[in-house]
Amino acid sequence: MHPYISIMRHITSILKRVRFGLSAFFRKNWKVLAILAMLILFVAVSQRFGFDKKIVVFVVVIVGFITQFFSILTSWIALIPVIGPPCAHIISLPFFFIVNALAYLVTLLALRKGYTKDVAGSKILVTALLIGIIIGFVLGRLL
């Protein structure tokens, strides 16, 4: 038998397994994928028609909590090899949530006082801090 034929047979068997794995994934998680598609469609339509952003965020958060979508999304992130589990661990840390919530509260207070230029800089700083925490945690786990 020619070596190319055996290589092609091996590649086709791998592709059949991948195709079966993807179809099984979609069959198993069709509800979650439908919720994700509906949320993305809702956000896109609401941006297109100019709905109030507070209402859109409220609806997305309520739907996410009711359907437990955020915990499912975190578990999908944890399935990524090597860097997924540390990222999911950091995202679910209460400290991460507290820092983010405090940043939003400070932003709200600063906007009410009229410090609109300083708000953008502070949000960038907090985002950089949180991303730095994630990168540091991942690198610490890998090394």
Beta carbons of 39 and 25 less than 8 angstroms apart:
no
pLDDT at 69: 76
Q: Which domain holds residue 120?
A: 82-143
pLDDT at 51: 86
Q: Give the predicted TM-score (pTM) of the model.
A: 0.47
Residue 75 in domain: no
40 to each of 6, 68, 98, 143, how far by Cα in Å? Answer: 44, 16, 26, 37
pLDDT at 116: 75
CB neighbour class for 139 (10 Å; exposed up to 12, middle 13-18, buried from 19) = exposed
- One domain for residues 86 and 44: no
Residue 3 scores a pLDDT above 70: no
Residue 76 in domain: no
